[in-house]
C-alpha cells in the first residue's frame, strides 16, 4: 500500500501545481481524519504446555460466542476483529494484537479486549529487589514465570488510548489460589465439576510472597498516580474467588462469558453497569463467583460497545 501511495504522489506532483510533502504525511493524515471504528482483540486459551497439566475446555467457545455477539449485535466488522486461540496465543502474539488495537486509535473508536484463560499472581523482581506488591498476570500459552504478561504490560498500552476513544476489557480468568479445586455446581448437577481458571506458580516463584502481606495490583486496572482508570474493566470474580471453566447447556464455556453475553443479548441497549448487574444475578443460580466492575462513572454508564447497530 505504501509503495502505491508513493507512485501516486510522484505522478500527481508531476501533473499538477499542488505540493504534497510525502507518503508518510498522507498516511498519518488519513488515519487522523478517518471515521471511528469498532475493533476487538479476542483471546481464548484451552491448550497449555503439557507439563503444566492445566488445559481448559471453554475458552475457545468463549471467543466464538463473543465474536458472534460483536458482529451480529454491535456492528463490528470481521476484518476489525483479531482472534488468538490456544498455541497461537503467545505473550508476543497478544501484545502485538493489542498494539494493533490501540496504537492508531482516534477519538470515537470503540476498542474491546476479551481474555479467557488462566490467570495467576506473582511477586515480581526489579533487578535484585523484590517488588512491593503482587502482580495479577494473564497466562499466555507460552507462559514464562520469569516474564509473564502483567498489569504493567497492559497499563503501558492502555495509557496510549487517546481522549475520546473508548476501551473495554472483559477478563474471564482468576488470579487467586484461594479456591483452586473443581467447584461443584449445587443447583445444576448435570453441569458437573467446574475447573478454576487459575494457575498455581511454582514454589520458587510463590516463595517470594509466602507469609508476607502485600497489596495486589489488579490486572487491567493499573494506570499511574496522576491519572485514573481510562477504561471499563469487568472481571469474572472477586480477588479471592475463581472464575469457573464450566459446562453449560452441554457446552464447555466460561461461566462469566456465558453470563455477560446472555445479559447483553437480552438487552443490547444495556449499559456496562447494568450488564454487570445482570451477569451477577445470572451467576447466582449455581455459581459462587461474583463479577467485578471498575471504571469512571461516565464510562460504566455508557451503552455497551456504543449501542447496537
Segments of 237-309 assigned E as strands: 244-248, 251-254, 292-294
Query: Within 13 Å of residue 66, how many CA atoms lie on the same side as its CB?
Result: 35
Residues in contact with 105: Cβ distance below 8 Å, sequence separation at least 6, in sequence order: 111, 160, 161, 162, 165
Measured in whole angstroms, the distance separating CA 305 from the mean position of its chain's CA atoms is 14
Segments of the chain assigned E as strands: 38-44, 81-85, 110-116, 119-126, 129-138, 149-150, 166-172, 183-184, 193-196, 216-217, 232-235, 244-248, 251-254, 292-294
Alpha carbon distances (Å) from 269 to 36, 143, 172, 207: 20, 38, 22, 47
Neighbours of 8 (CB within 10 A): 13
Q: Exposed e or buried b for every residue in 95-116, given b needs 16+ CB within 10 A?
A: bebbeebbebbeeebbbbbbbb
Catalytic residue among 118, 175, 194, 231: 118
Catalytic residue among 139, 171, 174, 237: 174
Q: Phi and psi of 154, rounded to 5°?
A: -70, -40
DSSP classification of residue 265 = H
Q: Phi and psi of 168, rounded to 5°?
A: -130, 140
Is 174 among the catalytic positions? yes
Beta partners for 216?
A: 134
- Of 111, 112, 109, 101, give the one whose Cα is nearest residue 37: 109
Point out the residues that are catalytic.
Answer: 118, 174
Amino acid at each position: 500500500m505504501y509503495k502505491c501511495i508513493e507512485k501516486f504522489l510522484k505522478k500527481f506532483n508531476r501533473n499538477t501545481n499542488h505540493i504534497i510533502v510525502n507518503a508518510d504525511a498522507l498516511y498519518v493524515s488519513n488515519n487522523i481524519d478517518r471515521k471511528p471504528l469498532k475493533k476487538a482483540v479476542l483471546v481464548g486459551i484451552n491448550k497449555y504446555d503439557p507439563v503444566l497439566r492445566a488445559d481448559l475446555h471453554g475458552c475457545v467457545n468463549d471467543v466464538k460466542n463473543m465474536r458472534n455477539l460483536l458482529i451480529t449485535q454491535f456492528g463490528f466488522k470481521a476484518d476489525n476483529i483479531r482472534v488468538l486461540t490456544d498455541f497461537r496465543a503467545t505473550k508476543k502474539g497478544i501484545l502485538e494484537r493489542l498494539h494493533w488495537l490501540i496504537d492508531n486509535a482516534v477519538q470515537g473508536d470503540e476498542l474491546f479486549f476479551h481474555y479467557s484463560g488462566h490467570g495467576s499472581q506473582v511477586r515480581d523482581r526489579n533487578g535484585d529487589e523484590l517488588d512491593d506488591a503482587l502482580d495479577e498476570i494473564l497466562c499466555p500459552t507460552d507462559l514464562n514465570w520469569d516474564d509473564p504478561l502483567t498489569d504493567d504490560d497492559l497499563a503501558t498500552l492502555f495509557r496510549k488510548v487517546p481522549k475520546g476513544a473508548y476501551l473495554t476489557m472483559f477478563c474471564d480468568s482468576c488470579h487467586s489460589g484461594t479456591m483452586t479445586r473443581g467447584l461443584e455446581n449445587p443447583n445444576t448437577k448435570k453441569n458437573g465439576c467446574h475447573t478454576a481458571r487459575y494457575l498455581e506458580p511454582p514454589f520458587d516463584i510463590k516463595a517470594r510472597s509466602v507469609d508476607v502481606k502485600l497489596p495486589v495490583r489488579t490486572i487491567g486496572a493499573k494506570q499511574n498516580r496522576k491519572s485514573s482508570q481510562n477504561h471499563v474493566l469487568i472481571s469474572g470474580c472477586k480477588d479471592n474467588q475463581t472464575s469457573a471453566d464450566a459446562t453449560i447447556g452441554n457446552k464447555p464455556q466460561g461461566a462469566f462469558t456465558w453470563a455477560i453475553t446472555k445479559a447483553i443479548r437480552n438487552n443490547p441497549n444495556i449499559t456496562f453497569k447494568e450488564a454487570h448487574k445482570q451477569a451477577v444475578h445470572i451467576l447466582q443460580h449455581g455459581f459462587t463467583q461474583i463479577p467485578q466492575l471498575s471504571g469512571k462513572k461516565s464510562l460504566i454508564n455508557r451503552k455497551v460497545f456504543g449501542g447496537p447497530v
